Amino acid sequence: MEKHSLNDRAEDANPSGAEEQIAVVDGFNTFLKNTLLSPEDRATCEAMYRLTLSDSLTGLSNLLSLEIALSDIRKEIVLNKENGIEKTPFLIAFDLDKFKELNDTSGHSSGDEYLKSIAKHVREILRSSDTFARVGGDEFVIILPDSNILNATKIAGRIMDATTKIMEERSHDENEKNGVDVSVSVGVAPWDEEQESKEVRMQADYALYVAKALGKDAVVSYGDALKLDGINDLKKPINPDSMYNAFIKERKK
């Protein structure tokens, strides 16, 4: 298996022009707040603003909206540190295993319905303060603005349960009986107060990559990913107290 490093995924974690795009959106938001508009014009502008930050298929936040949320969280981390407030944000990155096979077997319309279903089910388990974004075809990122490793593990488990539930629902649909069992791989990373958003996104993505390399249908924390000797030594036992093993143990109950 080819060895990968965190830097190999840096480009994905820091899309080109993100800061400029955020500045444009912030400017438009300021315009809406400070400009006298007719009710009709304001409604139109606000609708355009929402569309700019939404994924057209699922209605989730899009990549630009995620970048804005990450920027806001980073500012909040700095303020919390100055005021002695202890909060630890977490990032959860996940994507769907065998999704391409599902698309190839059942068609893209079926794949689209699956994406909408996973968005609906996962959104139901999150708090209103959490950010849930679709950042690629079958790639998603969640920001938990104040959490811990136990809660992040539980949410990861519920995301995996959601995929199981969707597959069970689809098994009753004659048009969806294609033999493709879609699962989910999850990477989790805590956001240290010294980290920039790009770094923590890279870490969550790296943990996700390791989860897939372990055989998919798994959740791995960034700390666990570092215990492996690069990406090649996937047979090395992970600490029994690790997030991955705690999750597997909980799933077997």
138 is catalytic: yes
pTM for the full predicted model? 0.76
SS3 content of the chain, % helix, strand, coil (to 5): 55, 10, 30
Domain boundaries, the chain: 85-251
Instruction: Please name every residue paired with 97 in a beta bridge, in sequence order, or none if there are none.
Output: 183
Phi, psi of 231 (to 5 degrees): -105, 0
Identify the sign of the CA torsion 249, 242, 154, 61: negative
Query: Could you read off the pLDDT tens digit of each residue along the chain, which spans 253 residues?
Result: 334 333 333 334 444 456 666 666 666 567 567 777 677 766 766 666 666 788 999 999 999 899 989 999 999 999 988 888 889 999 999 999 989 998 888 888 889 999 999 999 999 999 999 999 999 999 999 999 999 988 998 999 999 999 888 888 876 665 555 567 889 999 999 998 888 999 999 999 999 988 888 888 889 998 888 876 454 454 444 454 455 454 444 444 4
Phi, psi of 33 (to 5 degrees): -75, -30
Q: Quick one: CATH architecture of 85-251?
A: 2-Layer Sandwich (3.30)
User: Which two three-digit tokens encode residue 172?
Assistant: 């009753």
Identify the sign of the CA torsion 232, 4, 203, 217: negative
Q: How far apart are CA 135 and CA 64, in angstroms?
A: 9
- Collapsed DSSP state (helix, strand, coil) of residue 54: strand
Catalytic site residue from 95, 138, 217, 224: 138
Q: In what side-by-side order are the strands of the sheet with 90-97?
A: 131-134, 139-144, 90-97, 183-190, 219-221
Smallest CA-to-CA distance from 115 within 44, 180, 182 is with 182
